[in-house]
Structure 1
Amino acid sequence: MSDSGTYQRLIELLDSTATVYKVMDHEPEGTTETVSALRGHPVSEAAKCLVLIVKVDRRVSRYVLAVVPGDRRVDLGAVRALYAARYVGFCDAATAERLAQAVPGTVLPFSFDPDLELIADPEVVAQPRLYFNAARLDRSLVMSGADYAKLAQPRIERIAGPVAE
């Protein structure tokens, strides 16, 4: 699915569920800190979305879409503990793009692929306003963290590391 197809799928999902959201157009940008400045909000209100590979054992690997506040890093050790895995790391770009159905920097905090498990940190769903790139570098969405949790139905787990300094 192309990025425009992923964007359209998200908008159709939001509209069909009468979810309140706002579209924001901005200069093309995929870096959380820079796009947060363009959108005019604290980085902590952004959803940072990263695709991880979780190697449970030598034969079993899973893929996880980890969503943390924009001013935080993913705690790979916390994710490894959730799965009792032997290894957790960042997924290669081609696999991440295929599973997330978006290029890096535009990954949604939603999973439209059954092979990509969605995990969000509790601080993400607690945000009154949650900002994220909408499968496009030049467009973002903002919605409440509660509405996001209701719609995306992520597994809620503490996976954010300390605030980046």
Structure 2
Amino acid sequence: MSEISSRDVHQHLVSLLDSQQARFRVMEHEAMGKCEAVSEIRGTELGQGAKALVCKVKGNGVKQHVLAILAADQQADLSLLAAHLGGLKASLASPAEVDELTACVFGAIPPFSFHPSLKLIADPLLFERYDEIAFNAGLLEKSIIMDTQDYLRIAQPELVAFRRSNDA
């Protein structure tokens, strides 16, 4: 993905999806910080939500920022993410790093990387259960619900299973 010259992530995203002829719709709603509350407002299942985590992976000579996407009803196992990239540990990025790499506040980050230093990785479970995914679209008060296959075609995330096992 290309870097955004303006900080209007929402408009950049809508323009990208339009130009790629994606099947999607924009929904305006009250700003919500919780995945459960926003999925209820959207009328979607919690598992359709694409939760975006900005992480940093370090160790073994690795220093990589990652936009890690997983289903909103799952928890991330950051050690799996670190191991996949050859690092020793992964942690969530600071608010300043999130702002620099995404031009979004926590909770508003869409599952697209527009920064050359932000690697896009997604857990495959998000795409296996539903025909559409839903996510905040650069703003807390706007969501996009889009066709799963169109998302995979346009965003082209690296698919890596990094969700916590329910066996633990």
Q: Assess same fold via TM > 0.5.
A: yes
Cα-Cα RMSD: 1.3
Quote how far apart the aligned CAs of 1:78 are: 1.0
Counterpart in 2 of 1:54? Answer: 57
Are 1:41 and 2:77 matched, yes or no? no
Are 1:19 and 2:22 matched, yes or no? yes
SS of residue matched to 2:164:
strand
Quote how far apart the aligned CAs of 1:125 are: 2.6
Query: Gaps spanning 5+ residues in structure 1: where?
Result: none
Are 1:157 and 2:163 matched, yes or no? no
> Of residues 83, 102, 124 in structure 2, which corresponds to 1:81?
83
Counterpart in 2 of 1:94? Answer: 96
The alpha-carbon distance between structure 1 residues 132 and 7, as it changes in their structure 2 partners (threshold 3 A), is same
Q: Say whether the 8 Å CA contact 1:108–1:134 is kept in structure 2.
A: yes
The alpha-carbon distance between structure 1 residues 162 and 34, as it changes in their structure 2 partners (threshold 3 A), is farther
Q: Structure 1: which amino acid aligns with 2:86?
A: A
Count residues in correspondence.
160
Quote how far apart the aligned CAs of 1:30 are: 2.7
Q: Say whether the 8 Å CA contact 1:55–1:88 is kept in structure 2.
A: yes
Q: Deviations over 1:57-76 (max 9, x none)?
A: 3x541100000000011111
Quote how far apart the aligned CAs of 1:111 are: 0.2
Q: Deviations over 1:12-69 (max 9, x none)?
A: 1011111110111111113212111111221111000000010033x54110000000
TM-score by length of 2: 0.90
> Of residues 141, 144, 151 in structure 2, which corresponds to 1:141?
144
Q: Say whether the 8 Å CA contact 1:56–1:62 is kept in structure 2.
A: no
Quote how far apart the aligned CAs of 1:79 are: 0.4
What fraction of aligned residue pairs are identical, expressed as a percent?
Answer: 35
Q: Which consecutive segments of 4 or more residues in structure 1 shift more than 2 A?
A: none
Q: 5 Å matches for 1:62-81?
A: 62-81=64-83
In structure 2, what is the Cα distance between the partners aligned to 1:162 and 1:82?
16
